[in-house]
Amino acid sequence: MSSFQLFNPAAVFIFFACVLVSGIFTMNPVITVISLAGAILFFFVLPGQKNNRIHICTVLMTLACMVFNPVFGHNGATVIAVINNHNVTVEAGLYGIFLGLMLSAAVYWFASFSQIMTSDKIIYILGFLSQKAALVLTMALRFIPAYIRKAKQINDSQKALGLYKDETIISRLKGGARVFSILLTYMIEKTIITSDSMSARGYGGGRRRSFSLYPFGKRDVIFLTVSLVFTACTVYASSKGALFYNFYPFADTPATDFTALTGYTGYGLLCLSPSVIEGGNRIRWRYLRSKISHSDIRFPVR
Amino acid sequence: MTVIRNEKLRKALSVVIPFIFIPAVVLSGVLVFRGKSYSYGIFAISVLSVLLFICGFDRRKTGTRRLVLISAAVAMACVGRAVCSFIPAVNPITAITVLFAVYLGSEAGFMIGAFSALISNIFAGQGVWTPFQMFAWGMIGFFAGVFAKYLENHTVRLCVYVFFSGAAYSFIMDVWSVMWAYNTFNFKFYIASITSAAPYTVVYAVSNVIFILLLKKPFSEKLGRIKIKYGI
Amino acid sequence: MALFEVKNLTFGYPLSGPVIDGVSFTVEQGDFIAVCGPTGSGKTTLLRLLKPELSPLGNKSGEVLFEGVKTEDLTPAQSSLIGFVGQSPEHQIVTDKVWHEVVFGMENLRFPQNLMKRRAAEIMSYFGIDTLFDKNTADLSGGQKQMISLAGVLVMNPKVLILDEPTSQLDPVSASEFLTTLKKLNDELGLTIIITEHRLENVIPLCNKLCIVENGRITAFGETRRTVAEIAGNERIAASMPGSVRIYGILGAKGECPLNIAEGKRYFSEHFRRNSTPFKEEKAPSGEKAVELKNVYFRYEKSAPDVLHNTSLTVYKNEILCVLGANGSGKTSLLCTIAGLTAPYSGSVEILGKNIRKYKGQSLYNNCISLLPQDAQTVFLHNTLEEEFMKAGITFEDAPYDLSYAAKNHPYDLSGGEQQLAAIALVLASKPQILLLDEPTKGLDSLAKQKVRDALKALKRQGLTVIVVTHDVEFAALCADRAAMFFRGECVCVDTPYKFFSQNIFYTTSTARITSGVCENLINPDDVRRYAEVEK
């Protein structure tokens, strides 16, 4: 289990928002590289099932950006070739790589995000904004598996009734529409039972008090404060213009003055913090678990 | 806005947030993220307007049966997307959203579109595009509700509406992704991305029309019946 | 003070006559009341009128008082003291997580956080379902769903629990578990319970009062044993009574009425004098084979366990075969395999002497096999029954029973029994020779079951072969030519009903349980009637 399961989802959500917003909307290759490094590190540190196709995906995406950007964009001063009267420039290629890396970073962050923020946590966060919306979300999530199962049943029964006349596409399309139509009747009629069950338990559209499985503890306060301070550093540097970077006509050298360094450091620590927390907790857990095995003997043998 | 207990404060906030808070967030962000001001601007506007709609939905009174029906519609759209996921560029979310919106009104239409995007992305993959999708599908549902009177018993108009909203959806997503990635109003890029995505756009718009032709009749019959029988 | 006081209540839906007609009764604290009556007698409407949020709209006169307050005037907090659980486990669940479902009512009533947590913990521990806490509701069985619904109501600490056919969609094991839980709540917490139920054999031994509703009127109300004895002569109602009560009625209704099997056994041995030796020579079906399965193996996924395991079964032409067995014993998979919806990974299936693989395209479903799945509603596509029949290319005269009176109705507005019969008629549209039915009696009352039974027998006379998968032993005993028992994906035994049910000890009809040891070969109340010497 990830130690992020133990944090309040709101804190985790704000953390991800900070990383993504300040990472994606800052036009600076250093920030992008930091973001990508932090994202990949966290992706591997986070326990659980990993989808390894994601790496192929990001590499292809970066290559595609690198190739296509110079084809369409012809800004930049360092021309390396001319195709169809259009300049192909080094700067456009660099911008493409930068763009690809930024998108890759977002992909990795979102992969971790989806793994940690399970549906009930998204519902919890939405509940702050609107209880009614959160209720719609939880009900929809409850209906989806039921409808999928029902659709399969309906399809089977239609098949066994001999209603699919032949195996052509038209017959199948009609069959699909029939299944949908039956499912629609079923769904509409049954929503009445669900809403009765809600009314019977006192739901009247008024304000409710959401039951929360997630307390907001000291740990969350610290995590949130630290994240916000690091983000503030980045945003400060960004607003001072220290992180501003130009690709055209010549690619700049990234700024290295004090303000810029503050920004880099802040963002670097922000991106590193989840991996540190996760890694630290894992070491702590290993230590704690090592103590468990000693008390394994339950019945003293005489 | 359920965390705020004070009635007056809540009312005041409901005025302040849309007219002061949102422009403030957008403007200050644009100033901070100078290099990507457009990207940030469109992102912030779509996120915030989705939030605004959700808050509006929360404030208004919705009957229990209607609320369940909205949730069921969202589930239906997500199931539809899952079922059609093996055909590239085809999903029935636009069609289902529009059909429900015509019967349930603009607000329900927005919620169905936006939440279908959010939830189906839990399965299809969340990303930076989620707020854009929520906004785009939400708006398609919203306008279908606004024009409900003209669309309700008129299959041809409905087909025209979904064709163009399907095309518009693709265009807007293309334009957005270009603007988002390149941070410029560059028409060459737009045209390039729109032409390269043209086959998808056409397939999507046409598939929407096919969905409407297949689903219009059952929808009007069944939702009509429930409206009479249970007064939703 | 009485908990509920109903005074001269009359109710009618708009556009219809009175459904409830001048009903008066009182419910005392701690009562366990079973409300029974045929479908359409107004039971459900009566129960709904007791719960203000669910009261239907219509013309109402008379009044319902809950603790002396008119139900219309109850505050939400007072109304939450009336708990209500409906019949459909699938649709009354609202949220996607079990914990959320349990606390849903408390959220609406705005209980403090700590209290919500505490109550949820209490109720889940009390029911022993604490391991379900963070499961998805979609992954639960029907019985578990019903338990969660019950828990979600109980956390609000109701004074009275109203249940509308809560077990009709459950298999017998989960149903009796659910009813036992209700009894426990009644005994241990003094919770007042009002329940409607088809399966009276499980409820009658538990309840202390019985309420009989017929045509919107209460025809009998009072202490269970006395009320049961009162209606033993009323054939329409008595048909739905438990075996012991029916036998009591058949044997002349003398002395105290037995309510459970043990009492029934004692009563039977004291009062039964046979007029002749029951002997039933049954001809086992033979001749041409309709379906033959040889060593069939099937599983849903590569790594899942076998659902059908070395199954061999022969079904002869023109017989009714009832397949019995517990949940998950592979009964439904058997039907799907015969219907060609799932393919076994080993073994052979022959339909009408031809391997199922040789049926190309859709030919298996034309004039050959038809399957009606468990949920008859999956068949209905159109807005009226008439349209449904017309589109299927059949007329009301084709069906072996009359449904034309419901021609203009929406299929979902029909009663469960009518839906089942209509669905069977639609399934017959492809002129099948073999008809497969999955749980055709689920949720039906005794009258509707009888109609389904008659329909199946009529189809048999027309030359059809019928395979029925069911949990309902009483139904199987009355209509099967042979009964088969499935266990762990294997057919354990197949026999003619009299051999099957009189040799089974546990898995048999209530009549067989009551009569065994005294007189063999009696498996239905009608057998008792035939061989009993009734002193006039």
Which of A130, A142, A184 lies nearest to residue B222, judging by beta carbons?
A: A184
| Pair C445, C380: CB distance under 8 Å | no
What's the angle, vertex CA B132, arms to CA B118 and CA A112, rounded to 5?
Answer: 55
pLDDT of residue B2: 46
pLDDT above 60: residue A295: no
Average of per-residue pLDDT across A16-32: 88
For the complex shown, is ipTM > 0.85? yes
Classify residue A196 as left (phi > 0), alpha (psi -120 to 50) or beta: alpha
CB-CB neighbors (< 8 A) of C100 in chain A: 120, 138, 211
- Token look-up 């995906």 returns A57
CA B165 to chain centre: 11
Q: Strand, coil or helix: what is C24? A: strand
pLDDT digits (tens, 9 = 90+) for C301-352: 888 889 999 999 999 999 999 999 988 888 999 999 999 888 999 999 999 9
Give me chain B's average pLDDT, please.
84
Higher model confidence: residue C430 or residue B114? B114
Tokens of B53: 């709609």
Q: Where are the domains of chain B?
A: 1-61, 63-230
- C-alpha distance from residue B231 to each of A207, C52, C368 (Å): 24, 18, 44
CA A107 to chain centre: 7
Query: Pairing mode, if any, of strands C69-70 and C82-85?
Result: unpaired
pLDDT digits (tens, 9 = 90+) for B115-152: 999 999 888 878 888 888 999 999 999 999 999 888 88
CB contact (8 A) between residue B58 and residue A131: yes
CA distance linking residue B88 with residue B169, whole number of Å:
16
Average of per-residue pLDDT across A130-156: 92
The amino acid sitting at B17 is I
CB-CB neighbors (< 8 A) of A247 in chain B: none
pLDDT above 90: residue A197: yes
List, in order, residues 6 or more apart from A280 with CB less than 8 Å away. none
- C208 and C353 both lie in a single domain: no
pLDDT of residue A47: 85
Which chains have 3 or more CB–CB distances shorter than 8 Å to chain B?
A, C
CA distance linking residue C195 with residue C85, whole number of Å:
9
Please check whether residue C507 lies inside any domain of the structure: no
pLDDT digits (tens, 9 = 90+) for C134-163: 899 999 999 999 999 999 999 999 999 999
Interface test with A, best of B4, B28, B67, B223 (most A CBs within 10 A): B67
- C103 and C232 both lie in a single domain: yes
- C423 and C355 both lie in a single domain: yes
Domain count, chain C: 2
- C295 and C169 both lie in a single domain: no
- C153 and C39 both lie in a single domain: yes
pLDDT above 70: residue A1: no
| Confidence label for B95 from pLDDT (cuts 50, 70 and 90) | very high
Nearest-by-CA chain C residue for B221: C383
Q: Does domain B63-230 have CATH number 1.10.1760.20?
A: yes
- C-alpha distance from residue B84 to each of A181, C163, C242, C424 (Å): 16, 40, 50, 32
Phi, psi of B28, deg, nearest 5: -65, -40
Tell me, yes or no, if B55 comes closer than 8 A to chain A by beta carbon: yes
The amino acid sitting at C398 is D
- The CATH number assigned to the domain holding C60 equals 3.40.50.300
List residues bridging with C160 in a β-sheet. C82, C192
Please check whether residue C265 lies inside any domain of the structure: no
What's the angle, vertex CA C396, arms to CA C393 and CA C402, rounded to 5?
Answer: 155
CB contact (8 A) between residue C104 and residue A161: no
| Confidence label for B5 from pLDDT (cuts 50, 70 and 90) | low
CB-CB neighbors (< 8 A) of C90 in chain A: 146, 190
- C219 and C333 both lie in a single domain: no
| Confidence label for C536 from pLDDT (cuts 50, 70 and 90) | very low
Give B36→chain A minimum CA distance, Å. Answer: 5
- C222 and C293 both lie in a single domain: no
Tell me, yes or no, if C100 comes closer than 8 A to chain B by beta carbon: no
Tokens of C501: 């049910």
pLDDT above 70: residue C535: no
Q: Work out the angle between the directed axes of helices B155-182 and B129-146 (0-180°, nearest 10).
A: 150
- Measured over the CA atoms of residue C299, residue C300, residue C301 and residue C303, the dihedral's sign is negative
Tokens of A36: 């990508």
Query: Pairing mode, if any, of strands C434-438 and C465-469?
Result: parallel
CB-CB neighbors (< 8 A) of B221 in chain C: 383
Higher model confidence: residue B178 or residue A212? A212
Determine the structural domain holding residue C424 and report its residue range. 289-495
Tell me, yes or no, if B96 comes closer than 8 A to chain A by beta carbon: no
- C215 and C352 both lie in a single domain: no
Tell me, yes or no, if C383 comes closer than 8 A to chain B by beta carbon: yes
pLDDT of residue B1: 40
CB-CB neighbors (< 8 A) of B45 in chain A: none
pLDDT digits (tens, 9 = 90+) for B36-47: 778 888 888 888
Which of A28, A99, A136 lies nearest to residue B71, judging by beta carbons?
A: A136
What's the angle, vertex CA B84, arms to CA B82 and CA B89, rounded to 5?
Answer: 110
pLDDT of residue A296: 55
Give B83→chain C minimum CA distance, Å. Answer: 18
CB contact (8 A) between residue C90 and residue A181: no
Tell me, yes or no, if B65 comes closer than 8 A to chain C by beta carbon: no
pLDDT digits (tens, 9 = 90+) for C461-520: 999 999 999 999 999 999 999 999 999 988 999 999 998 998 888 889 999 999 988 888
Q: What percent of chain C has pLDDT over 90?
A: 50
Give C52→chain A minimum CA distance, Å. Answer: 9
* Boundary-marking domain end, from C220, C236, C252: C236
pLDDT above 90: residue A59: yes
Higher model confidence: residue C398 or residue A200? A200
| Pair C272, C519: CB distance under 8 Å | yes
Alpha helices in C393-468 (DSSP H): 416-427, 446-461
Which of B32, B54, B69 lies nearest to residue A130, judging by beta carbons?
A: B54
Q: What percent of chain B has pLDDT over 90?
A: 28
pLDDT of residue C433: 92
CA C214 to chain centre: 20
Give me chain A's average pLDDT, please.
86
List residues bridging with C532 in a β-sheet. C274
- C-alpha distance from residue B133 to each of A138, C18, C477 (Å): 20, 52, 59
| Pair B130, B176: CB distance under 8 Å | no
- C308 and C186 both lie in a single domain: no
Chains A, B: CB contacts under 8 A, how many?
Answer: 177
CB contact (8 A) between residue A208 and residue C149: no
Please check whether residue C533 lies inside any domain of the structure: no
pLDDT above 60: residue A66: yes
pLDDT of residue B3: 54
- C179 and C312 both lie in a single domain: no
Look at residues A116, A114, A123 and name the one whose alpha carbon lies nearest to residue A212: A123
Give C138→chain A minimum CA distance, Å. Answer: 6
Tell me, yes or no, if B225 comes closer than 8 A to chain C by beta carbon: yes
CB-CB neighbors (< 8 A) of B225 in chain C: 383, 410
Nearest-by-CA chain A residue for B115: A137
- C219 and C93 both lie in a single domain: yes
CB-CB neighbors (< 8 A) of B112 in chain A: none
- C408 and C322 both lie in a single domain: yes
CA distance linking residue C341 with residue C369, whole number of Å:
11
Residues 145-204 of A with CB under 8 A from C: 145-146, 149-150, 153-154, 156-162, 164-167, 178, 181-182, 185-186, 189-190, 193-194, 196-204
